[in-house]
Structure 1
Amino acid sequence: MAWLIAHGIVCTMEDPPRVIEDGAVAVEGDRIAMVGPTAEVRARYPEAEVLDARGQLVLPGSICAHTHFYGAFARGMPLHDEPPTNFPHILRRLWWRLDRALDEKAVRLSTLVCLIDAIRHGTTTLIDHHASPSCIDGSLDIIAEAVLEAGLRACLCYEVTDRNGPEGARAGIRENTRFIRQVQRWRATGDPRGDLLAASFGLHASFTVGPETMAQAVAEAQALGVGFHIHVAEDAADEGHSLTIYGVRTVERLAREGVLGPQTLCAHCVHVDTREIDLLARTRSKVSHQPRSNMNNAVGVAPVGAMRAAGVTVGLGNDGFSNNMFAEMKAAYLVHKVHARDPRAMGAEEVLAMAYRENARIAALFWPHPLGVIAPGAYADLILLDYRPYTPLTAANLPWHLIFGIDGSHVTTTICGGRILMKDRQLLTLDEERIAAEARAHAPIIWERFRAIAEAERG
């Protein structure tokens, strides 16, 4: 049975985008059936139930091409150490202690609070990269159950690494393999869980995955017919390690060992050189750009313009920052200008292309129908925003309204797969107050484990 969103300003985000004044979207099942002026759509579906947008913007749900649900408990947490002075310090003193402190309850709660944040800010598709070395087996199922409870769309993987010993590496490989096969069974049998959930094969980064573990992971992924989700050259230390140990730069090593390819997603790529960019393009590997995280970690600014000019698909992620992807768009727009000292760098059209068209190409690795666009046949992942433009809003100037006006705080209604998850800012699938209270109660337990790990490492 079809239902309609009517009387909205529909921004299709097609290439090129259209802006339909008094527009409507017809939804059948989990997909879009028709897009057009309200009068035309209502004439085609005269008996359909109508959700009146009342002049609000109607956009595709945002896509986040790289995130970390597991990092939620870091907010406000004391480090019990001197402030990190570089990226390796940040990893060792914060993230590699926090992930070891996580238990099953923390994995679940950290996922749920991130999903609440995503619904509130209109992010309906998230590509997650998980780590919890103290509870690896079944961890992706815990996350998957939370995603299904929320009603959002997510691609999951476990980051394989050697930093927790050979058994930890083997357990990470097993968890990826098990979950990928499970998703493949869901898809093959028409299980509805396979409509929302997808899987890739996670690797942490070149500098924490040795040749034996890498070869095992590549063999498993090739047998399963999937690609990888891996951090690449986020910091110069990754390149330095690869040159010292393997005699080649990071992307060259990953290409040589069979990690790169059209199904592989490389997060960051801040320090890639021209040869590595050429390898990313020739292997048709995808890249996600996380400007807020890169600024926060002081690792540098990725050569996004050069990668896109070479034909590399570069999307936009958040690396565990808030799931307000409109904030990520603004950061991308600004940081490249100040880095290049050129106001022409990273135009608003480029940011829109990354956030919608390029992210849609990345999402197409994992789901069979289009995302990030309002068009017949695309998934009905839609958001309504109470943004009231005080200058004309057209297809030509939409990118600048996105950068200088529209924000996740404007989102009033979030829909994923035709299901309304939030209406008029009221969450319908998750109890935010209860989940936040549970997380607050559990945070001191995780923080105490973190403190004990820090003390043990310092001896």
Structure 2
Amino acid sequence: MLVIGNGRMITRDAENPFIENGAVAMDGNTIVMTGTTEAVKGAYPQTEYIDAKGKIIMPAFINVHEHIYSAFARGLSINGYNPDGFLDILDGMWWTIDRHLTPEQIRYSALATYMDSIKNGVTTVFDHHASFGHITDSLFTIEDAAKELGIRTCLCYEVSDRDGKEKARESVMENARFIKHALEDESGMIAGMMGMHASFTISDETMALAAENKPGEVGYHIHVAEGIEDLHHCLKTYGKRIVDRLMDCNVLGDKTLLGHCIYVNDHEMDLIKETDTMVVHNPESNMGNACGCPPTMAIVHKGILTGLGTDGYTHDMTESYKVANVLHKHHLCDPNAAWAEVPQMLFEGNARIAGRYFKKPLGVLKKGAAADVIVVDYDPLTPMNGDNCNGHILFGMQGRDTTTTVCNGKVLMRDRVLTGIDEEAALARCREEAKKLADDINSR
């Protein structure tokens, strides 16, 4: 048993959204009670207690689109890399990195990403992995890192024909093996999807191979119209728009997650809505790659289940919240844009997306939900309540304000110190592996 109390508590529970001096009680991996600190401590007087000391208690964050394999790109300089457009960025940076990753570098990329996620209050990560130099067992390597740190994760491998048919087949089989493994797992901490890169790097033959080997219980995780080149290729090669092609290939559906969706039109949005397919918005990545601003507000207004991800650009969901808020105001020249839509994506959409892969309710503090709780070091200088707490998060908090992170009832970080891993030693190995990767890339 564990109780966290004596904090302003944001629950995300519509029946009781904010408790001024709140507490949450956890028994194993499940929340058993929320209420005032006095009531909860009274009900569980002999339980381990974490005093929030007036800080914010809230549900842990969920990130529905990450790229663990990009962890060692931070500060990396690649000889001759001078991109002229999105395709050059993909091939010159990201595909170059993933072709050179070793199994050890995959492991430490995962540890680095998950450690940073925990420090930013993120306990559930949907990752989209690529390591075309070492495909087989790469997802299992990442799973081992997740288990070591105690974080919840949904994994997939990025199927693509870009390095040939044999590696495309190997990628499909890695997904299939991991999905079957995840479906048999009873911990509630791992899930699998059939990962795909994007329409322009996947042939009809490989699409069919993926469909043949995908268990019916799961969907696809694929980048859609991230760059205009993806759309142009689909129109030229297949005579149709990307979402139409995915519809024809039976990729759409309630378990499928579409990343980006920058160059989609109203007709495609209608198809996404009609098939109950999910979308994830990654604002910083779209801006950083100069890909454009997606019609995310229109997508949300269509009633499409939409979440917020980081695409590996950061591991701080509050940072992505801030950027998405100003991006759509700026793009639409509308100061009223994104006030409601972005927090809906982050706090409701991400929880609903995760709910399609994990059984316990996530992103909410209420009885029966998963015991995923964070404490954030924030002392509001203006009145705070259930009606304005999103404004406080947007303008007053950062991910690194997280002091304590609990996932599945286990304390993963207490007073900003990670538990269960020697962070200093792990980061030292990360630096070693990152240098090996950079030296390997620039020696060729």
Give the distance between the partners of 1:441 and 1:242, measured in 2 at CA: 41
Match of 2:311 in 1: 319
Match of 2:381 in 1: 390
Does the 8 A contact of 1:308 with 1:314 survive in 2?
yes
Aligned positions of 1:7-406 closer than 5 A:
7-15=6-14, 18-187=17-186, 192=187, 195-221=188-214, 223-347=215-339, 349-406=340-397
Q: Per the alignment, in what secondary structure is the counterpart of residue 253 of structure 2?
A: coil
Number of equivalent positions: 444
Shift, 1:311, TM fit: 1.1
RMSD: 1.2
Q: Which amino acid aligns with 1:294?
A: N
Give the distance between the partners of 2:325 and 2:13, measured in 1 at CA: 20
Shift, 1:15, TM fit: 3.8
Give the distance between the partners of 1:226 and 1:182, measured in 2 at CA: 12
Shift, 1:82, TM fit: 4.3
Give the distance between the partners of 1:329 and 1:17, measured in 2 at CA: 23
Give the distance between the partners of 2:109 and 2:45, measured in 1 at CA: 43
Q: Which amino acid aligns with 1:409?
A: R
Shift, 1:49, TM fit: 2.3
1:93-144 Cα shifts (integer Å, max 9, x gaps): 1111110010101000111111111111101110000000111111011000
Point out the more displaced range, 419-428 or 5-14.
5-14
Give the distance between the partners of 1:417 and 1:112, measured in 2 at CA: 18
Which ranges of structure 1 fall in alignment gaps of 5 or more residues? 454-459
Give the distance between the partners of 2:11 and 2:273, measured in 1 at CA: 28
1:14-70 Cα shifts (integer Å, max 9, x gaps): 347711011110101101111111122122223322211111100111000100000
Give the distance between the partners of 1:14 and 1:261, measured in 2 at CA: 28
Match of 1:451 in 2: 442
Question: Is 1:410 aligned to 2:401, yes or no?
Answer: yes
Give the distance between the partners of 1:350 and 1:439, measured in 2 at CA: 37
Give the distance between the partners of 1:387 and 1:27, measured in 2 at CA: 23
What's the TM-score, normalizing by structure 2?
A: 0.98
Give the distance between the partners of 2:291 and 2:298, measured in 1 at CA: 18
Which ranges of structure 2 fall in alignment gaps of 5 or more residues? none
Give the distance between the partners of 1:439 and 1:253, measured in 2 at CA: 40
Q: Which amino acid aligns with 1:186?
A: D
Give the distance between the partners of 1:420 and 1:384, measured in 2 at CA: 11
Give the distance between the partners of 2:216 and 2:440, measured in 1 at CA: 36
Q: Per the alignment, in what secondary structure is the counterpart of residue 280 of structure 2?
A: strand
**Seq. identity, %:** 42
Give the distance between the partners of 2:351 and 2:12, measured in 1 at CA: 10
Q: Are residues 136 and 334 of structure 1, via their aligned partners in 2, closer, same or farther at CA, if it must alter by over 3 Å?
A: same
Q: Per the alignment, in what secondary structure is the counterpart of residue 239 of structure 1?
A: helix
Match of 2:428 in 1: 437
Does the 8 A contact of 1:131 with 1:158 survive in 2?
yes
Q: Which amino acid aligns with 1:274?
A: D
Q: Per the alignment, in what secondary structure is the counterpart of residue 160 of structure 1?
A: coil
Q: Per the alignment, in what secondary structure is the counterpart of residue 384 of structure 1?
A: strand
Shift, 1:254, TM fit: 0.4
Shift, 1:342, TM fit: 1.1
Give the distance between the partners of 1:16 and 1:154, measured in 2 at CA: 28
Q: Per the alignment, in what secondary structure is the counterpart of residue 41 of structure 2?
A: helix
Q: Per the alignment, in what secondary structure is the counterpart of residue 147 of structure 1?
A: helix
1:61-99 Cα shifts (integer Å, max 9, x gaps): 100010000001111111212421211110011111110
Q: Which amino acid aligns with 1:412?
A: T
Does the 8 A contact of 2:329 with 2:338 survive in 1?
yes
Does the 8 A contact of 1:116 with 1:430 survive in 2?
no
Q: Per the alignment, in what secondary structure is the counterpart of residue 106 of structure 2?
A: helix
Runs of 4+, deviation exceeding 3 Å: none
Q: Per the alignment, in what secondary structure is the counterpart of residue 157 of structure 1?
A: strand
Point out the more displaced range, 430-439 or 373-382.
430-439
Give the distance between the partners of 1:103 and 1:294, measured in 2 at CA: 28
Shift, 1:239, TM fit: 0.6
Shift, 1:185, TM fit: 1.7
Give the distance between the partners of 1:87 and 1:424, measured in 2 at CA: 41
Shift, 1:448, TM fit: 2.5
Give the distance between the partners of 2:41 and 2:77, measured in 1 at CA: 56
Give the distance between the partners of 2:381 and 2:132, measured in 1 at CA: 51
Does the 8 A contact of 1:35 with 1:41 survive in 2?
yes
Does the 8 A contact of 2:65 with 2:309 survive in 1?
yes
Q: Which amino acid aligns with 1:339?
A: H
Does the 8 A contact of 1:155 with 1:200 survive in 2?
yes
Shift, 1:345, TM fit: 1.1
1:313-338 Cα shifts (integer Å, max 9, x gaps): 11000000221111010001011011
Q: Per the alignment, in what secondary structure is the counterpart of residue 335 of structure 1?
A: helix
Match of 1:456 in 2: none
Q: Per the alignment, in what secondary structure is the counterpart of residue 129 of structure 1?
A: strand
